């Protein structure tokens, strides 16, 4: 059983919150007023739920500067109403100019997709990663080190999720309307705390196969 004696209690968290709020007001008396009155983030971050990858902190952004969606293994399933609604709200209501899909090395979801063990309901969520694994099986098979193999699949998963974002109608309509909207694929290393750009960014539908391109919005 996990040793709980070093874990903070919920009451400790509430006390820490009061200290944090007081510190913010001490630095800037208008801090919460600005947050209350308007939300104008320029970024939508789609990341993993892993507690070791906090979006705001690792890129030095403050509350209100990044809109965040997180799930297991940073997925953008084309049938997930939750994720798709977040993207739509970010693009149409908030007017973000960047959507960043961020994975991380050592992702437990990616590892679970590779281990051939049953994981209950989670297996349905990981099915898309298995598809990426299958599509890149020959490349991955040649990587003999297990950790390096898993890390490469973490990268390939990010690549696929960026492509999924590009296929969304809300994204393609924004491009057709001339809105500035760039997609990015990044990966984070828990070993050194550094984010790396995987070089799979998109700023329009030009790199999409014609099968996935939608008719321009009126």
Residue 107 bears catalytic tag: yes
> Beta-carbon neighbour count of residue 115 at 10 Å?
10
The answer to whether 164 touches 212, Cβ cutoff 8 Å, is: no
DSSP one-letter string for 101-119:
EEEETT-HHHHHHHS----
Q: What is the token pair recorded at 79?
A: 């049938």
Residue 154 bears catalytic tag: no
Which one of 98, 107, 151, 184 is the catalytic residue? 107
Which one of 69, 70, 104, 184 is the catalytic residue? 104
Angle between helices 122-135 and 146-167 in degrees, nearest 10 = 100
Quote the CA–CA distance of 94 and 139 in Å, as a whole number.
39
Catalytic residues: 48, 50, 52, 104, 107
């Amino acid at each position: 059983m996990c040793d709980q004696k070093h874990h903070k209690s919920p009451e400790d968290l509430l006390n820490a919150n009061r200290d944090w709020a007081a510190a913010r007001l001490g630095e800037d008396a208008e801090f919460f007023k600005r947050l209350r009155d308007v939300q104008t983030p320029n970024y939508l971050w789609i990341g993993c739920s892993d507690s070791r990858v906090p979006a705001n902190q690792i890129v030095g952004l403050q509350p209100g500067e990044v809109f965040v969606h997180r799930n297991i293994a940073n997925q953008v399933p084309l049938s997930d109403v939750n994720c798709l609604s977040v993207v739509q709200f970010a693009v149409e209501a908030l007017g973000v100019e960047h959507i960043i899909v961020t994975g991380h090395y050592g992702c437990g979801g990616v590892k679970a997709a590779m281990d051939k063990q049953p994981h209950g309901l989670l297996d349905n969520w990981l099915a898309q990663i298995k598809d990426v694994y299958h599509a890149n099986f020959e490349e991955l098979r040649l990587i003999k080190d297990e950790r390096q193999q898993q890390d490469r699949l973490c990268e390939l998963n990010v690549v696929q999720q960026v492509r999924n974002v590009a296929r969304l109608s809300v994204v393609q309509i924004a491009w057709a309307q001339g809105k500035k909207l760039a997609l990015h694929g990044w990966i984070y290393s828990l070993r050194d705390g550094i984010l790396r750009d995987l070089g799979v960014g998109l700023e329009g539908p030009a790199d999409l196969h014609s099968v996935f391109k939608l008719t321009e919005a009126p």
